[in-house]
Amino acid sequence: MCQRAIAHWRINLTGQSEQRAKSIWSRWKQRAKQLKLETRAIYLAYRDPRTPWYARLFAACVVGYAFSPIDLVPDFIPVLGQLDDLILVPLGIALALKMIPGPVLTECREKARIELGQKKPGNWAAVAIVVIIWLLLAALAVAIMRRIFGG
């Protein structure tokens, strides 16, 4: 009888653990979808002329960093590499959302929902521009290092 009770307890515990893991996973997926929507809304607000210049500048930096293949802290550095993605991007998005006027943000969120629902292909021109900017910055850094260290 004792063994049946232990087996029953293990089954219930495993079932609860699986449910808890699925719940956590679904919350993470939902949060990722929300961040994707907010990032797209910020991009649309950046293009809107009603958005103040300082909010446009900050939004461009946030969207550029969020979609950039290059991180401020590389991902291969343990813990810190992942923390920049988990902290900097959501923090930048939150600050950008505070800078954008309410009516503009509401309209851009609705446009973003519609666009993301249509599953449009990615904007490869924007990706190319970001990559070119990063390559130019890397070349500039190399040129500065050569000048400093006399190489």
pLDDT means over runs of 10, the chain (151 residues): 56 63 82 86 93 93 80 73 79 92 95 83 74 90 90 62
* Residue 10 pLDDT: 54
Dist. CA 12–CA 18, nearest whole Å: 10
Is 111 among the domain residues? yes
| Owning domain of residue 142 | 123-151
- pLDDT, position 1: 54
Report the alpha-carbon distance of residue 104 to residue 46 in Å, rounded.
Answer: 10
Q: How far apart are CA 21 and CA 15, in angstroms?
A: 10
- State residue 9's pLDDT score: 54
* Within-domain flag for 88: yes
Does residue 37 form part of some domain? yes
Q: Please report the pLDDT score of residue 121 as a whole number.
A: 56
Q: Name the domain count of the chain.
A: 2
CA 13 vs CA 1, 16, 100, 106: distances in Å: 18, 5, 47, 44
Same domain? 96 vs 116: yes
Are residue 52 and residue 66 in the same domain, yes or no?
yes
Both 150 and 81 in one domain: the answer is: no
Give the pLDDT confidence score for residue 4 in this predicted structure.
61
pTM score of the predicted model: 0.60
Residues 130 and 116 in one domain: no
Judge whether 65 and 130 are in contact, CB under 8 Å: no
59 and 111 fall within a common domain: yes
82 and 131 both lie in a single domain = no
In a domain, 96, yes or no: yes
- Asked whether residue 89 falls in the same domain as residue 145, the answer is no
Helix axes 2-47, 102-117, angle to 10 degrees: 120
Shared domain check, 140 and 67: no
